[in-house]
Amino acid sequence: MKILDVLEQEGILVDLKARDKKGVIEELVAPIARISGIEDDRLARVLLDRERLGSTGIGGGIGIPHGKLKDLDRLILGFGVSRRGIDFESMDGMPTHIFFLLVTPENSTGLHLKLLAQISRILKNETFKERLLAATHPSEVVEAIKEHDAAD
């Protein structure tokens, strides 16, 4: 499975305005809720509950808020960039700029872990991260991911 198999352009936000963890999650959830038809407060609650177990800020300016939702029939993926960066309680203590939001069905642990690993792996490429940070339109994010997926 490629990232673009589940990431819809409508779920990409290239200029997040939120200044804190809760705000970023709520902002990222809004388009995902519209796409999936699931209430945004329900999606945000699942992600914030997961954050209480430990931050999904993995360092290097990256956050991958994720969680599992009962009664979900497919994987949901969103993306966002915060130009100023926010305190996402990352492992390295640095501001977080790039966010991939992932919500999966409760019974799909294998798929959940596979996509988390794939996202983490592609974000190790500094040139790729720079392209994501420089994107001013969702189509630029899609193009960067498409080119990177083709290189794998």
* Rounded-to-5 percentages of helix, strand, coil across the chain: 45, 25, 30
Q: Quick: pLDDT tens for 114-148.
A: 888 889 889 999 999 999 999 999 999 999 999 88
Q: Is 148 designated active site?
A: no
Residue 67 β-bridge partners: 103
> What type of residue sits at position 53?
L
- pLDDT tens digits, 99-109: 999 999 988 87
Give the pLDDT mean for 10-21: 96
- pLDDT above 60: residue 113: yes
Amino acid letter, 127? T
Q: Domains in the chain, please, with CATH?
A: 3-151 (3.40.930.10)
- Encode pLDDT of 44-81 as tens digits: 999 999 999 999 999 999 999 999 998 888 899 999 99
**150 pLDDT tier (thresholds 50, 70, 90):** low
With 0.85 as the threshold, say if the pTM is over it: yes
132-136, Cβ contacts within 8 angstroms, sequence gap of 24 or more: 132/81, 132/98, 133/61, 133/81, 133/97, 133/98, 135/14, 135/81, 136/14, 136/15
Residue 69: strand pairing partners: 105
